Amino acid sequence: MSTRSYRRLRIALGGLVLGFCLLAFADVGDWVPAIAARAGLWLQLTPSLIAITQGVGWISAGCIAVLLLTLVCGRIYCAMLCPLGILMDLSAWIARRTGRKRKLPYRPGHPWIRTLAVVVCALGLILGSAVPLGLLDPYSIFGKIISATVRPALGWLNQTISLTGAIQPVDVSPVAWTSIGVALGLLAVVVIAAMLRGRLWCNTLCPVGAVLGFFSRFSIFRLQISADACVACSLCEQSCPAQCIDFKNHRIDHSRCIMCLDCVTSCRRNGIHLTSNRGSVGQKHPASPPVVVAAAMESTTTRHQPAPLLPTNRRLFLASALSLPTLAMAKSKHDDADENGRCHGPNRLTQHNKKAVLPPGAQSLAHFQSHCTACQLCVTHCPDQVLRPSITQHGLSGFLQPYQDFTTSFCSYNCSNCSEICPTGAIQTITVEERRLIRTGTAELFLDRCVVKTEGTSCGACSEHCPTQAVHMVPWKGGLTLPEMDPDLCIGCGGCEFICPVRPDKAIIVTGLPVHERATAIERGEENTVRKMEEEFPF
């Protein structure tokens, strides 16, 4: 294959990857099925690397494939498979087309910064939080940007066009301003860096770039500058987005080279060419820090252990210690609780200060926070639109990781979509039948808020919309009935809380469990009998 053919292939494949990832993260109309989205993203390094520690089926093979590809051809993953890297190249191309000229002279690498990025991410995983990795990983950054900016824009556009009757309207869950601010901040950093310094992010703060940079030093095929053909015109150096070509000394830093081959096409004397003779390259590079290798080995060899129920588990303890806002909230709530654990003081339990409810299949708070990179793929593909990025709901150690928001929707009794699409195994794959028996939270009744007692009117909305009849009505007085709870049947789906008409503090609240439990099975048909919920009080 000629250099120009390879470059066209790189651009075409990169465009397909960018387009597919854009559709997957901005999906507002079920354009990409869950299984297709997961399959199309299997070559993304970080989710595959996390998945391989749990043995999550075929998707974990993507990590091995990328590493083998890097050992053969160098960092072509960064050039044509990384959606954020492709977005950087697109931003730089647009900047050049608008007349902005950039100068990209050779600059020495900063291996200590790359090492620090890997160490920070590894320490976060060891301490039970994947948030540092989620804020530096290119795949997760791309997901945050698209789901918080492009997806709401498409939802607004859909609603606008649907007013004309041309298309059917779709619901898009609201996005917190904090999530939008983080996404816009990351987008600004990535785009500005790409416009001014090319692949600066990839070769400084990106942990994926650091790991692949180490392996690319041993790649079979690599670029070489021919000292005989080079006339020191500097065209190759000016075209290199990684700023890794030192034309004066005829050297290329292969740990930073992304194999885009822009330098080859810019050279007018064919002074740069691919070679498989590793001995002829003759380049000396700064030794890759051993800690990068150690961090990579730690990530790929650590096996996931099921979180025990004991509160002394190290992961659960450390994750809880990092969740300062949540702990403070829990302590305040406890101080105002009676002997039954119900709050009556100013910090009484409401839908706003309860423990966040995790998606079904998350297993436990410790497991979820140590594996979720907050890519927002499950948020995008939740058909009930109940999943939202957390701000303080999970504490500092779970920033932007999804939770179930029952103020906007509820978790369907017949859905396991989030578990099917999660690429890291933070939400374990489960069937619909298994989902029906997973208790993610428990409902708590506050009869002093119920409209039956406060207003003497008939209700029963919570009972009618409970798929397991954990909430049922019992006779009270004057022909009225009051709700009663059977905690053994409750699965924490949030249907009762969502439909409760009481404002501002609802009369029934579902609070999350740190470790998911198994609910008591009930006899019913293949489909539940819960009727479709209205946005407001249904009666």
Structure-block tokens of residue 389: 């990025």
In a domain, 512, yes or no: yes
In this prediction, residue 289 carries a pLDDT of 40
pLDDT band (50, 70, 90) for residue 309: very low
Q: In terms of domains, do 350 and 210 share one?
A: no
Q: In terms of domains, do 214 and 325 share one?
A: no
Out of 96-105, 438-447, 456-465, 509-518, which region has the weakest mean confidence (pLDDT)?
96-105
Distance in angstroms (rounded) separating the CA atoms of residues 239 and 218: 24
Q: Select the highest-mean-pLDDT range: 55-59, 103-107, 282-286.
A: 103-107
Using the predicted structure, report yes or no on whether residue 279 has a pLDDT greater than 60: no
| Residue-wise DSSP of 242-273 | T--EETTTTEE-TTT-----HHHHH-TT--EE
Using the predicted structure, report yes or no on whether residue 287 has a pLDDT greater than 60: no
Residue 44 near residue 62, CB atoms below 8 Å: yes
Distance in angstroms (rounded) separating the CA atoms of residues 281 and 254: 10
Distance in angstroms (rounded) separating the CA atoms of residues 512 and 497: 13
pLDDT band (50, 70, 90) for residue 526: very low
Q: In terms of domains, do 166 and 22 share one?
A: yes
Out of 17-26, 58-67, 494-503, which region has the weakest mean confidence (pLDDT)?
58-67
Using the predicted structure, report yes or no on whether residue 339 has a pLDDT greater than 60: no
Distance in angstroms (rounded) separating the CA atoms of residues 487 and 269: 77
Q: In terms of domains, do 319 and 443 share one?
A: yes
Using the predicted structure, report yes or no on whether residue 347 has a pLDDT greater than 70: no
For 518, the 3-state DSSP assignment is: strand
In a domain, 479, yes or no: yes
Structural domain span for residue 123 = 3-101+109-220
Q: Which residues of 195-204 are buried (b: 16+ CB within 10 A; e: fewer)?
A: bebbbbbbbb
Mean pLDDT of 132-142: 94
Total domains, the chain: 2
What Å distances lie between residue 30 and 27, 35, 169, 359, CA to CA? 6, 12, 13, 20
In a domain, 125, yes or no: yes
Structure-block tokens of residue 267: 């050279």
Question: At what angle are helices 290-301 and 207-216 packed, to 10 degrees?
Answer: 110
Cβ-based neighbour number of residue 321 at 10 Å: 14
Asked, as a colleague might, if the bond just before 504 is cis with ω within 30 of 0, I would say yes
Mean pLDDT of 199-215: 93
Q: In terms of domains, do 66 and 209 share one?
A: yes
44, 45, 42: which is closest to 211 by C-alpha? 45
Q: In terms of domains, do 319 and 197 share one?
A: no
Q: In terms of domains, do 200 and 320 share one?
A: no
Average pLDDT of the chain?
81
Using the predicted structure, report yes or no on whether residue 71 has a pLDDT greater than 50: yes
Residue 225 near residue 274, CB atoms below 8 Å: no
What single DSSP character describes residue 470? Answer: S
Domain limit, last residue, from 220, 255, 274? 220
Residue 307 near residue 316, CB atoms below 8 Å: yes
Q: In terms of domains, do 323 and 216 share one?
A: no
Greater confidence (46 vs 323) lies with 46
129, 136, 61: which is closest to 371 by C-alpha? 129
In a domain, 232, yes or no: no
Q: In terms of domains, do 197 and 320 share one?
A: no
Using the predicted structure, report yes or no on whether residue 489 has a pLDDT greater than 60: yes
Token pair 């650091």 is found at: 210
pLDDT tens, position by position, 351-386: 778 899 999 999 999 999 999 999 999 999 998 999
Max Cα distance, the chain (Å): 101
Q: In terms of domains, do 376 and 494 share one?
A: yes
458, 523, 528: which is closest to 493 by C-alpha? 528
Residue 34 near residue 54, CB atoms below 8 Å: no
Domain limit, last residue, from 220, 240, 264? 220
Out of 132-141, 260-269, 528-537, which region has the weakest mean confidence (pLDDT)?
528-537
Domain limit, last residue, from 199, 220, 241? 220
In a domain, 173, yes or no: yes
In a domain, 145, yes or no: yes
What Å distances lie between residue 59 and 40, 370, 412, CA to CA? 10, 18, 26
Q: In terms of domains, do 208 and 319 share one?
A: no
pLDDT tens, position by position, 421-465: 998 889 999 999 999 999 999 999 999 999 999 999 999 999 999
Residue type, 308: P
Q: In terms of domains, do 443 and 320 share one?
A: yes
In this prediction, residue 290 carries a pLDDT of 39
CATH, residue 438: 3.30.70.20
Mean pLDDT of 390-414: 91
Confidence (pTM): 0.81
